[in-house]
Amino acid sequence: MSLPRSLPPIRTLATGAVWLAASATLASTATAQNRPAIRPLGPTLATTSDSLGMVNNVRALSDGRLLINDATSRRVLLVDTTFKVLAVVADSTASTANAYGPRSGALIAYRGDSTLFVDAASLSMLVIDPAGRIARVMSVPRSQDAMVLAAGGLGSSAYYSDGHLVYRGSPALQMRMAERSGAGGGVPQMPTQPDSMPIQRVNLQTRAVDTVGFVKVPKTNTSMNRSDDGTISVSIEVNPLPVVDEWAVTANGDVALIRGRDYHVDWISPGRQQRSSTKIPFDWRRLGDEDKVRLIDSVKAIRDRQAAANPGQGQQMAQAFGAAMGGGAVAAGGAGGPVVMRFEVNGGPGGATSGQVRAPRISAPQINYVSPSTLPDYQPPFFAGSARPDADGNIWVRTIPTKPEPAGVVYDVINDKGEAVDRVLVPEGRVIVGFAPGGVVYLAARDGMSTKLERARVR
C-alpha cells in the first residue's frame, strides 16, 4: 500500500505556508552581502500544446528529444524539440509489456542516451533505449530501496554515476500494535524517525552498497491513540522551518552535500576524494522570540485557510492511514521524502485473525507545530527538496527569501567550486523539472492537476 498521494499535503502545508509566512510577516535584519544580483530566467522557446498531468521529472536526450514522466496519467512520453509526441514509451494499460505500474515512477539518466525508469511496484527498472523502446528490464538493486529510487520529484532523487546508482537511503521503520484488552484493541506505537539519512551508492554489477555521506532531513513526530470505541486518533507535529541539508550529483559525477546550517558544500568525487568549499554568501535573517511566535501563528492561519478550502483533505489522510493500518509495507511521504514502514500487529481484538488484519477506524489527523522556541535562531537558506543539478556542472538551489523579492522563485546557481555565480528568478507558477546541456531548462507550469511543459534558456 502506498501513502505518497495522500501525504504530500502535509509537506505543502508545512513548507509552502511557511514560505509565504516568512516572506510576508517577518522583518529582515540581514546586512547586504556580496551576492550576485537577481536576474530573470531567459526566454521561453517552446510550450506543450496539450495539457499533461503532474510531471515528476524529465530526461533530455542529446539531440533535443525529451522523455516526460507524466505521473498522474501514469505514462512516459517521448517528444521532439517542439513537444510533438513521437512515442508512448510506457502507459497505464496493465496488459501490455510497457505498463507504467500502479505507482509513480522516476526517470534516471543512464549510459549515453539510454534511460532507467524505476517501477517500485514491480521492483524493476526498465531500460529505455535512445529510440524510446524498452530494451530490457533489470531488478532494482535492493527491494527495500525501490520506493526511494522511484521518488523523483517527491523530495529525493537518484542518479546514475560511474557504474553506480546514487540515492538517499531510507530506514525500514517498524510500527507495532501494542497489546490491549477490550474492544478497542491495541494502540499503534509509532517508530522514531531519524533526523539524518545516508547518501548511498550501489554498484549495478556487484550490488555492493557503500555510504558516501549523511544529510540532515526534516523530522516529523507522529503519535496515535485509540479510544474505547476503537477509533484511532493521529497527531502529527511539524517543524515548519527545519534546518536541513540538500544533495545532488553533478554532471561530472561529484556528490555535493549542501549544508543548511552554514550554507557550504562538501564534495565527494567518484574516487571518494573529499573537499569542502567556503561558505556561500547569504542574507542571513535572525529570528527573535517574537518573530518565531509570529511565524508559527502565520503558518497555522494559512493551514486553516487551506483546510477550509479543501474540507476533504483530512478525511483523505485518515483513509490513507486506515489503509496502512490494514497491514503490509507502506511508503509514507513526509517533507524529507518517503520513509518505508512495516506494520506488525500483535494479537488482540484489533489485531490479526486467521492471518488477516482488520483495518481500524482513523479520525482526521491533527496537525500541530513545534514550540516557537525550537525554531532556529537564523532562517535557513532552503527547504528540503530544493536542489537540482543542471547538465552543465552547476547546482540550482531554490532559496527561501529573506526580504521582499520579485514575484517568482529565486535559485542560487552554484558552480563546481561551491561558489554562487548566479541568481535566477523563475517565473511565478513554474517549477523546474529538468535541464539539458547548453543552458536549457525545462519548466512545469501547473494549474491544479494539469501541467503545461515549457523549454527555456537559462539566459
Contact 232, 361 (CB under 8 A): yes
**Other Cβ atoms within 10 Å of 198 Cβ, number:** 18
Where the chain has pLDDT below 50, the residues are: 1-32, 154-155, 181-184, 321, 324-357
> 383 to each of 16, 216, 217, 260, 282, how far by Cα in Å?
10, 11, 10, 9, 15
The 3-state DSSP class for residue 251 equals: coil
pLDDT at 392: 96
Q: Domain boundaries in the chain? A: 8-457
User: Which residues are bridge partners to 55 per DSSP?
Assistant: 70
Contact 117, 105 (CB under 8 A): yes
pLDDT at 99: 76
pLDDT at 175: 57
Over the stretch 356-389, which tens digit does the pLDDT of each residue have?
445 556 667 788 899 999 999 999 999 999 999 9
Residue 122's closest CA among 97, 149, 140? 140
Question: Cell for 164?
Answer: 553506480
Q: What pTM did the predictor assign? A: 0.82
pLDDT at 312: 65
* Continuous segment of H or E residues that includes residue 9: helix 8-11
- Angle of helix 17-25 relative to helix 289-309, nearest 10 degrees, comes to 130
Over the stretch 34-86, which tens digit does the pLDDT of each residue have?
899 999 999 999 999 888 988 888 999 999 999 999 988 889 999 999 999 99
DSSP string, 206-233: T--EEEEEEEE----EEEEEE-TTSPEE
* CA-only gyration radius of the chain, Å: 22
pLDDT at 378: 96
pLDDT at 85: 93
Residue 41's closest CA among 447, 396, 416? 396
pLDDT at 50: 83
- At position 166, the amino acid (one-letter code) is V
- At position 225, the amino acid (one-letter code) is N
- CATH no. of 8-457: 2.120.10.30
